[in-house]
């Protein structure tokens, strides 16, 4: 069989490594920066959370379903190539979504060296000038302030027609002024570039940048209580025409894009594994994930560097970030060419089609698997808050996209560096201990993120990703493979990675956006930290109450077999393997 050219394992592994590398670069061009782009469109945290939650939900259930259909009808290569070809065009649909702020482009590229003006801290009350047409002789709204000055919500006094920033706002967050007009501080809904109220007309603009988060405070001027109520109503009701248009176009584009992209990874993994299984070479499958992490690290840093240097000169319209989508489409075209030679098995093994149902019954019937599934679900919910909003947190503190790309690459490279110590770590700490260590490190990271004080301060915490992501993932996978019944290791692992982790990420995205709107990013990370620590204590305490596993000491049985020199025994009652299997079944 090995002489047949269709079973050229070395060539198949070489193509698979290249495919994983290119797909890693492709994913990292957009995925880490996607929520940052949605923020540039002018969408607030709740709507970004809804978009990302929908994306995770589609990936969790649509991907496995398409992989099942592709395997059943032997159309894996068609699905691989169709997914890559469709994602080339589908990713560009999001570029066509109009931003809420039409002047966003000029505001972002006219800054020094093309840097994007920093946004105000999440949850802070936003202040700025608000001009309206006031009938002659009408009383001034800011009656308690001296003429030409304003003092409200922590805003200092200044010359006529100007407003000073609160000290909590980052440098460079310039607030415009209207010369000759009365001014007052105003907490506004940040997803619109204009504010309109009954009997008052005016405009609000901060550095030409769409403001991303709903202001947490409602400290307004004397007559401005109406603006706080109206701002929250607009946030929750999508009453703004521009906001509604931008949101639903973004939602449609992302759903269509994810429907095309979601099946790719699982179809490729299943095809390669079954190809290697046909020639008994599945042991060489386990190291391929390293190539994808290398590609993702390269793509995140490289795309961020290119976007920072070329975007303002190459892209004249639209918000910052569109160059990421062009890079994604270009690399997807390269991945499409590689997929032509991707190994797809021609032998068809007969396997039951109800493995997903059987895997679910295993989880429900084993308390250890049930506890592990709940743990993975919570991990997905917590990590989604980092994936969705950490770059917002960094951007508010003046970080560039290059630093953001380097920060996520640091975590991925840390996983690769720590991987050689995987077996030692699992042996010394056990699987349960490693899961506990990973949960503790993840909780520590979230707490650290809540108190970031500068753009570079995130980098030390990213080194913990080697444990909070890498070691935690290894421990979960090892536990699943150990607890799974024979032949159910891969279906069970796919269910944990897809359904449980993806479902948790979806729920975390939905809830996280509204927590950010109601409180702040810092409160979200603190809440996730407390939740993980409470679950860690519960996880470890419940593990102690579960019945101990019955382990078979095969070495002692072999010694007994070697000392038994009599071949006259009748039946199989003295067969050590049969006895061991019976003991395991009865235990």
Residue ranges per domain, the chain? 7-103+245-342, 361-549
- What does the DSSP 8-state code read for residue 141? S
Confidence class for position 348, pLDDT limits 50, 70, 90? low
What's the DSSP call for residue 201?
E
Topology of the domain covering 7-103+245-342:
Growth Hormone; Chain: A; (1.20.1250)
Tokens of 481: 């493979």
Confidence band of 353 (pLDDT split at 50, 70, 90): low
Separation between Cα atoms, residue 469 and residue 93, nearest integer Å: 32
Enumerate residues 6+ apart whose C-beta is below 8 A from 449: 386, 390, 393, 458, 461, 525
The predicted structure's pLDDT at residue 443:
96
Within 13 Å, how many C-alpha atoms sit on residue 301's CB side? 13
Element (H, E) at 196: strand 196-197
List phi, psi (to 5°) of 429: -95, -15
- Give this prediction's pTM: 0.75
CA dihedral 45, 50, 53, 58 (to 10 degrees): -150
What's the pLDDT at 281? 78
Q: Which of the four pLDDT bands, split at 50, 70 and 90, describes residue 232?
A: very low
* Structure-token pair, residue 404: 């953001």
Query: pLDDT tens-digit profile of 186-198?
Result: 334 343 333 333 3
State the residue for tokens 């996280």.
Answer: 512
> What pLDDT is stored for residue 286 in this prediction?
81
pLDDT at residue 261 above 70? Answer: yes
- pLDDT tens for 516-536 read 999 999 999 999 999 999 999
For position 175, what pLDDT does the model report? 37
What mean pLDDT comes out for the span 57-62? 95
Residue 303 has pLDDT above 80, yes or no: yes
Number of neighbours of residue 17 by Cβ within 10 angstroms: 17
Task: Report helix, strand or coil for 434.
Answer: helix
Confidence band (pLDDT; 50, 70, 90) for 2? very low
Which residues have a Cβ under 8 Å from the Cβ of 139 and sit 6 or more positions away?
none
Considering only residues 140 and 541, tell me which one the structure prediction assigns the higher pLDDT: 541
Rounded average pLDDT over 162-191: 38
Structure token digits, residue 433: 């201990």
For 103-133, what is each residue's pLDDT tens digit? 655 445 654 444 444 444 444 334 343 344 4
Residue with tokens 């560097």: 305
What is the pLDDT, as a whole number, of residue 33?
A: 95
In the predicted model, is pLDDT for residue 177 greater than 70?
Answer: no
Which residues, in sequence order, are bridge partners of residue 196? Answer: 201
Which DSSP category does 200 fall into? E
Same fold? 7-103+245-342, 361-549 = yes
- Residue 260: what are its φ and ψ, rounded to 5°? -80, -30
pLDDT at 577: 56
- 326-329: Cβ within 8 A, 24+ apart: 326/92, 326/95, 327/29, 327/30, 327/303, 328/26, 328/29, 328/30, 328/87, 328/91, 329/87, 329/88, 329/89, 329/91, 329/92
- Alpha-carbon distance of 488 to 313, in angstroms, equals 53
**Per DSSP, what are the bridge partners of residue 581?**
none
Task: Provide the b/e sequence for 207-242 (b: ≥16 CB within 10 Å).
Answer: bbbbbbbbbbeebbbeebeebbebbbebbeeeebeb
| pLDDT (0 to 100) of residue 282 | 82
- pLDDT value, residue 455: 86
According to the model, what pLDDT value does residue 311 have?
Answer: 78
Architecture of domain 361-549 in CATH?
Up-down Bundle (1.20)
Residue 395 near residue 521, CB atoms below 8 Å: no
CB 215 within 8 A of CB 123: yes
Residue 278 Cα distances to 175, 274, 301, angstroms: 66, 6, 38
Between CA 147 and CA 341 the distance in angstroms is 75
Q: What is the DSSP letter of 116?
A: P
Least confident of 19-28, 313-322, 565-574: 565-574
8 Å CB contact between 149 and 158: yes
Q: Which of 204-208, 380-384, 387-391, 566-570 has the lowest mean pLDDT?
A: 204-208
The secondary structure of 297-349 as a DSSP string is HHHHHHHHHHHHHHHHHH--SS-TTHHHHHHHHHHHHHHHHHHTT-----S--
Answer for the pair 474, 422: CB distance below 8 angstroms, yes or no. yes
Count Cβ atoms below 10 Å from residue 269 Cβ, excluding itself: 18
What 3-state DSSP class applies to 269? Answer: helix
């Amino acid at each position: 069989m090995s002489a047949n050219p269709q079973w050229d394992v070395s060539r198949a592994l070489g193509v698979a490594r290249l495919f994983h590398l290119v797909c890693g670069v492709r994913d990292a061009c957009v995925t880490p920066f996607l929520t940052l782009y949605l923020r540039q469109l002018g969408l607030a945290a709740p709507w970004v959370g809804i978009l990302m939650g929908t994306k995770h939900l589609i990936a969790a259930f649509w991907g496995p379903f398409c992989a099942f259909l592709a395997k059943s009808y032997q159309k894996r290569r068609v699905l691989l190539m169709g997914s890559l070809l469709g994602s080339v065009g589908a990713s560009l649909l999001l570029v066509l979504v109009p931003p809420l702020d039409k002047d966003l482009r000029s505001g972002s590229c006219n800054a020094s060296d093309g840097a994007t003006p920093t946004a105000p801290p999440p949850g802070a009350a936003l202040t700025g000038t608000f001009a309206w047409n006031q009938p002659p002789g009408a009383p001034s709204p800011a009656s308690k302030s001296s003429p030409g000055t304003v003092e409200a919500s922590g805003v200092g006094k200044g010359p006529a027609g100007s407003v000073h920033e609160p000290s909590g706002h980052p440098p460079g967050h310039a607030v415009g002024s209207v010369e000759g007009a009365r001014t007052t501080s105003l907490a506004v809904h940040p997803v619109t570039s204009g504010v309109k109220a009954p009997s008052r007309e005016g405009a609000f603009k901060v550095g030409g940048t769409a403001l991303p988060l709903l202001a947490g405070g409602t400290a307004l001027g004397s007559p401005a209580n109406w603006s706080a109520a109206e701002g929250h109503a607009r946030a929750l009701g999508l009453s703004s025409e521009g906001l509604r248009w931008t949101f639903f176009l973004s939602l449609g584009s992302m759903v269509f894009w994810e429907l095309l992209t979601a099946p790719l990874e699982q179809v490729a993994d299943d095809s390669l594994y079954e190809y290697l299984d046909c020639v008994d070479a599945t042991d060489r499958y386990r190291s391929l994930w390293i190539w994808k992490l290398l590609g993702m690290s390269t793509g995140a840093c490289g795309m961020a560097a290119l976007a920072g240097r070329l975007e303002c000169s190459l892209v004249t319209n639209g918000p910052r970030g569109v160059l990421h989508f062009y890079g994604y489409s270009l690399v997807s075209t390269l991945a499409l060419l590689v997929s032509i030679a991707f190994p797809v098995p021609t032998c068809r093994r007969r396997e039951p089609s109800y493995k997903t149902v059987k895997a679910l019954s295993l989880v429900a019937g084993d308390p250890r698997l049930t506890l592990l599934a709940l743990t993975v679900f919570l991990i997905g919910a917590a990590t989604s808050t980092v994936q969705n909003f950490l770059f917002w947190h960094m951007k508010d503190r003046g970080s560039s996209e290059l630093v953001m790309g380097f920060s996520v690459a640091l975590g991925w490279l840390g996983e690769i560096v720590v991987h050689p110590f995987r077996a030692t770590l699992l042996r010394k700490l056990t699987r349960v201990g490693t899961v506990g260590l990973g949960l503790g490190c993840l909780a520590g990271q979230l707490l650290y993120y809540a108190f970031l004080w500068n753009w570079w301060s995130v980098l030390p915490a990213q080194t913990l990703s080697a444990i909070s992501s890498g070691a935690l993932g290894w421990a979960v996978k090892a536990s699943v493979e150990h607890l799974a019944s024979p032949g159910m290791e891969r279906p069970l692992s796919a269910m944990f990675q897809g359904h449980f982790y993806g479902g948790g990420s979806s729920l975390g995205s939905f809830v996280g956006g509204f927590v950010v709107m109601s409180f702040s990013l810092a409160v979200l990370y603190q809440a996730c930290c407390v939740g993980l620590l409470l679950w860690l204590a519960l996880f470890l305490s419940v593990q102690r109450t579960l019945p101990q596993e019955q382990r078979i000491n095969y070495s002692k049985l072999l010694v007994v077999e070697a000392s038994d020199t009599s071949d006259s025994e009748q039946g199989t009652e003295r067969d050590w393997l049969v006895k061991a299997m019976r003991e395991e079944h009865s235990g």
